[in-house]
A and B are shown apart, each in its own frame.
Chain A
Amino acid sequence: MGKSKTHADQKYIEALLNNDTIVLKEIYEKFAPKVVGYIKKNNGDESRAQDIIQETLIAIYKLVKEKGLLLTCPFDAYFFLLCKRKWLNELKKASLKEVTINEEVVSINDESIQHADETLIFEARNELFTEVFEQLGKTCKELLKAIFTIKSMEAVASKLGQSYGYVRKKKSLCIGQLTKMIQSSPKYNRIKNLL
């Protein structure tokens, strides 16, 4: 995507990062009606649409925060595609067999599909990682939380009353343990080729 130019709609991505109420309101006013229309046509209602929109915006925020995202397509296409796929996943989960999908003709380009795919895969990875982190033993969990929130290893070591060397070694062992846990997770095998 290096060749493509960043789209002017990057401002919506920045708004999520900065929690900018004015621009966030604009997102709802400009882009929500299309999503609501689609969800209502496909077995949903406004309240479900509100949830899907919020979840989608949070998913984008998390992706941008961790990996960054330079939008090379209109936000509209990317956002709508993401909401749509999320809604279809919800329907699948609820196994509403009688569901018929009323497709709309939307102009979607390759870049918006690529952005949407990236976001969804990232979200699936995040869900799996969160789940696995919860299963980690208490000592490792607390150590990692301290390291990644306090940021200075020296400060963590003194807080825990341990040596710097110990904390450092333990950190790599704990992440190693998480790595092993992910490798043995059946869910990981489903998304591993996409990461």
Chain B
Amino acid sequence: MTPEEKYELFERKINGELSAKEEGRLLLIINNDKAIADEFRIYKEWSSYLGSNLNLMQEQSDLENNLKEIGNAFFTQKSGEKKAKIIKIPSWGYAVAASIAIILGVYIFTKSKPTYNDFVSIPELSIIERGVENEIINNAEEAFNSKNYDKAGKYLSELLKNDETNSVYLFYYGITLIEQNKSKEASQIFATLQKGSSAYKYRAIWFEALNQLKQDNKDQCIELLKTVPKEAEDYTQAQKLLKKL
């Protein structure tokens, strides 16, 4: 049996299209040949995986966003409860707190506040492949590298329509969103990358931290910076920013 015939037999078995005679033949092959049995098992797993996963994307991302919101609300409320407990201090404590606040205020005032522009370093986009002519790719690269992020964003989103899990497109698209102050959309893109296993997994944490910094969400920025692992290329910068915050 050629591989072509074998896979066609598997496919027809999964779709319930085999005649009794063919069923018998497949069963005999599977019982006598462990390698083919193994192959059939994996083939079936693939059919099940593809049938489920290629359809889930939108639904899964809706669930993820909802869980993120519920989780954020739950954890913010939790830390709010804790803070309320800490406030119970004796009356003389207020004087001490006030003095500390003044000292801290002076300190913070004299210390410059780190900004997004101090830390951001936007990498160049390089997606044009030699010998491959693709106008959208060319336009995306040109617009991005000439800092025309609005245009670059549109081209990248066009590319993502046909290749929605492409981590390069996603990462650079996320940057164009930060640059256009579309913070929420950018967060969604970086969250997707952080969950994946691409080369942009850790860079996405750093850029999401910068996204939060740009929106003045200091606490979220700090939390994100703490999760940049040592092996990440942005680790040193992340630590530097963490110290300043």
Q: Does the CB pair A172–B8 fall under 8 Å?
A: yes
Whether A65 contacts B11 in the complex (CB less than 8 A), given A54-B68, A175-B43, comes out as no
What are the interface flags for A43-71 relative to B under an 8 Å C-beta threshold, 1 for contact and 0 otherwise?
00111101001110110011001110000
- Chain B, interface SS category: helix
Cβ 8 A contact of B70, one of A28, A179, A183: A28
Does B115 interact with chain A (Cβ within 8 Å)? no
Does B78 interact with chain A (Cβ within 8 Å)? yes
Contact-residue bracket for chain A: 35 or more
Q: Does the CB pair B11–A172 fall under 8 Å?
A: yes
Whether A57 contacts B67 in the complex (CB less than 8 A), given A47-B227, A172-B11, A176-B7, comes out as yes
Report the separation of the CA atoms of residues A93 and B34 in the bound assembly, to the nearest whole angstrom. Answer: 34
Q: Does the CB pair B7–A172 fall under 8 Å?
A: yes
Interface centre among A125, A171, A175 (most CB of B within 10 A): A175
Which of these binds chain A: B54-62, B104-112, B133-141, B209-217? B54-62
Q: Does the CB pair B52–A129 fall under 8 Å?
A: no
What are the interface flags for B55-85 relative to A under an 8 Å C-beta threshold, 1 for contact and 0 otherwise?
1100110111011101110110011000000
Q: Does the CB pair B229–A173 fall under 8 Å?
A: no
User: Which residue of chain B lies nearest to A94 when distances are taken between CB atoms in the complex?
Assistant: B229
Chain A hits for B78, CB < 8 A: 36, 46
Chain B hits for A126, CB < 8 A: 49, 53
Does A9 interact with chain B (Cβ within 8 Å)? no
Q: Does the CB pair B60–A58 fall under 8 Å?
A: yes
Cβ 8 A contact of B42, one of A19, A57, A149, A179: A179
Tally of chain B residues near chain A (CB < 8 A):
46
Whether A171 contacts B56 in the complex (CB less than 8 A), given A19-B66, A28-B74, comes out as no
Q: Does the CB pair A24–B67 fall under 8 Å?
A: yes
Q: Does the CB pair A173–B45 fall under 8 Å?
A: no
Whether A175 contacts B54 in the complex (CB less than 8 A), given A29-B74, A46-B78, A61-B63, comes out as no
Cβ 8 A contact of A53, one of B49, B52, B71: B71
- Chain A, interface SS category: helix
Chain A hits for B165, CB < 8 A: 134
Chain B hits for A145, CB < 8 A: 54
User: Which residue of chain B lies nearest to A53 when distances are taken between CB atoms in the complex?
Assistant: B71
Does B197 interact with chain A (Cβ within 8 Å)? yes
Chain B hits for A25, CB < 8 A: 70, 74
Report the separation of the CA atoms of residues A195 and B44 in the bound assembly, to the nearest whole angstrom. Answer: 12
Q: Does the CB pair B43–A58 fall under 8 Å?
A: no
Does A169 interact with chain B (Cβ within 8 Å)? yes
Output the least CB separation between B54 and chain A (Å): 4
Q: Does the CB pair A19–B227 fall under 8 Å?
A: no
User: Which residue of chain B lies nearest to A175 when distances are taken between CB atoms in the complex?
Assistant: B46
Output the least CB separation between B136 and chain A (Å): 16
Cβ 8 A contact of B63, one of A58, A130, A175, A182: A58
Chain B hits for A178, CB < 8 A: 46
Chain A residues within 8 Å of B, Cβ to Cβ = 16, 19, 21, 24-25, 28-29, 32, 36, 45-48, 50, 53-55, 57-58, 61-62, 65-67, 94, 125-127, 129-131, 133-134, 144-145, 148-149, 168-169, 171-173, 175-176, 178-179, 182-183, 192, 195
What are 6 A-B interface contacts by the 8 Å CB criterion?
Answer: A21-B66, A28-B74, A32-B74, A53-B71, A54-B71, A175-B11
9 tightest CB-CB pairs across the interface, nearest first? Answer: A176-B7, A66-B52, A172-B11, A148-B54, A172-B7, A28-B74, A179-B42, A47-B223, A179-B43
